[in-house]
Amino acid sequence: MSTDSKLPSPTPIAIPPTRGGGGVTLSVHESGTGPAVVFCHGFPDLAYAWRHQVAATAAAGYRAIAPDQRGYGASSCPSEVEAYGLTQLTGDLVGLLDRLEIERAVFVGHDWGGFVVWAMPVLHPDRVAGVAALCTPYMPFPSVEIHAALVDGDIERQYVAWFQLPGVAEAAMDSKVETIFSRIFRGGVPTEVVMRAAFASGKLNMNPFLDPETLPVMGEPIGTPSDMQHYCDVYGRTGFRGGINWYRNIDRNAREHSGVGNEPLTLPCLMLTAEWDPALSPALAESMKERCSDLEMHMVEKAGHWAQQEHPEIVTGRLLDWLPRVYGQ
């Protein structure tokens, strides 16, 4: 579904080097006043994904902040692969709070942004009032080896493993921006339908980015034609390299930050799963109950991976119901 929600115009904010992050300029959308809520997008995405939630959260009396994270959109895109680890990504958020003179915030993440916001209370607990995530549970990121094993080492059939090849994925994807978004930015369909398509060749294919033109069209388009055009325009300019480099730090993140996904969390946590998400199924979140002592969990029914855009009222409603309990309102 779609609404007329819009993000405010972005402001470039220079983030000084701090706690391993910074040294970049982030393009930041901000609206409202009150307790801070920072929205962190995933891949391949932008702050634009949170347009519905930013508008509603600001209207509800919060300071809603949504950056294009490093490597995305109008934000800085460093050339070094090593510039995209959890140290840098969480450090950017600390630096952003510093620049905005905010002591603590609730961090809300989706997809890769979910892994970043779950890392915040482990690496920077003094800056986090609560964590909310959509689709991405609090867990260690599976290693590249695990991803490759899913396809018996044929890494072209598994996008996370394929992304590890230097320069290969972006070279293949940058000329196919419109095709990629027209195929993947779609609403949810039953998981069994997705799995039948994934095994259509007789072998499991978990790489929608290699040959997107061969993907079956499933589900209704997300958003409006102008929403789709926005993504195509931005990625047509930037390409995919910045976001892909996040994946090239998975094993390094595990080595340097073994506590992320494992250490118990005692702060308020909200987990929203999506019933038909083929990438991050609700089952992955079940073990969170053992590690998060103040956890609220809900499933968005009949939702795919892009649930905050597919069912914005449901996602926003759950968030706005939970936020007053975090901030004692």
Catalytic residue list: 111, 305
Cβ contact 76:238 at 8 Å: no
Half-sphere exposure (Cβ direction) of 225: Cα atoms closer than 13 Å = 0
Q: pLDDT at position 206, please?
A: 96
Please calculate the CA angle 196-278-240 and round it to the nearest 5 degrees: 110
Cα(4)–Cα(34) distance, integer angstroms:
24
- Amino acid present at 94: V
CB 134 within 8 A of CB 307: yes
For 227-281, how does the pLDDT look when each residue is reduced to its tens digit (9 = 90+)? 999 999 999 999 999 999 999 999 999 999 999 999 999 999 999 999 999 999 9
Q: Could you write out the DSSP letters of every residue in 115-161?
A: HHHHHHHHH-GGGEEEEEEES--SSPPPPHHHHHHTTTT-GGGBHHH
Question: At residue 129, what are phi and psi to the nearest 5 degrees?
Answer: -90, -30
Q: In this predicted model, what pLDDT tens digit does every residue of 109-133 receive, in sequence order?
A: 999 999 999 999 999 999 999 999 9
**Interatomic CA distance for residues 105 and 39, integer angstroms:** 10
φ, ψ (nearest 5 deg) of residue 43: -125, 140
Q: Are 110 and 41 in contact (CB under 8 A)?
A: yes
pLDDT score, position 4: 62
* 44, 239 Cβ separation under 8 angstroms: no
Q: What local confidence, expressed as pLDDT, does residue 20 receive? A: 80
Percent of the chain whose predicted confidence (pLDDT) is above 70: 99
Domains in the chain (CATH in brackets) are 11-143+248-327 (3.40.50.1820), 153-242 (no CATH)
Beta bridge partners of 128: 105
User: Which secondary-structure segment (H or E) carries 38?
Assistant: strand 36-40
CA 85 – CA 30 distance, rounded (Å)? 25
Amino acid at 53: Q
Per-residue pLDDT at 313: 97
C-beta atoms surrounding 22 within 10 Å: 21
Q: List, as one string, the DSSP characters of 168-187.
A: HHHHHHTT-HHHHHHHHSB-
Summarize the confidence of residues 80-91 as an average pLDDT.
97
In the structure, what pLDDT confidence band is assigned to residue 1 with cuts at 50, 70 and 90? very low
Matching residue, tokens 């968030």: 319
pLDDT (0 to 100) of residue 235: 98
Q: Using CA atoms, how far apart are residues 161 and 269, in angstroms rounded to an integer? A: 30
> Contact 107/301 with Cβ under 8 angstroms?
no
Contacts of 208 (CB under 8 A, 6+ apart): 159, 180, 183, 184, 215
8 Å CB contact between 291 and 264: yes
